[in-house]
Amino acid sequence: MLLLLSPSRFLFLVVVLVVAVLAKGALRNLGGDRSSSGHKGYCLAAMVDVLCAVLSGGNWGPTVDGFTTNDVNYGDATIRGGTTEEDQEEGQEEDQEEDPTAGNAVNGIGHFFGAMRIDGFRNVEAFKKTMDVWMKTFRKCPAIDPGCPVQIPGDPEKLQYDHRSKHGIPVKLTVCCDLKDIAVECGLAPPFDPIDPPKLAGVKRVVIDST
């Protein structure tokens, strides 16, 4: 639906928005110029890239090209820029100055999992008590929509866990087709309800030929 506003109506809405922001404030995004903390958003993104990709040896920055495999993207090659080790070593330094993807190991998407010892910072029980207060404080914040209370990280997942534990997990038919293929290849029975299996005949699938 396309909503058309007259210039006077549009100006009225802008004034209402400005008044509301001046009265109650607004949360600005971490982006753009320095006045809107764009440098902080940049640093956060860089930290994620370094920890998840550079540290793990995965694809980083402009070398990330999607959730596909080396075979699909580059055949059997794991390094761009040459077919032999000598070619790769010779061209790697020169090419990488102009193109960060040249000579870069193609290792797919990287991940980072970290753990910290709480007792290395403070008393564990004191930390837990403060953490409880932290969670209660944010959950009690006034919500814009009373029907959608403020949540903290992990709350949506807990709700989904409870819901799907009772009602099951939705799985795409294309994924069911993949599971069936794997089961057949391994000589196993498909992991479906034998009384009411999914109807997979006619399901459209995208098959990538890596040969």
Domain boundaries, the chain: 35-98, 126-166, 171-204
- C-alpha span between 58 and 64 (Å, rounded): 9
- HSE-CB at 176 with a 13 A cutoff on CA atoms is 16
For residue 45, CA distances in Å to 30, 51, 99, 119 come to 10, 10, 21, 29
pLDDT of 166 above 70: yes
pTM: 0.51
Percent of the chain with pLDDT over 70: 67
Q: For 7-39, how does the pLDDT look when each residue is reduced to its tens digit (9 = 90+)?
A: 777 778 878 877 877 777 766 655 566 666 666
pLDDT at 113 over 90: yes
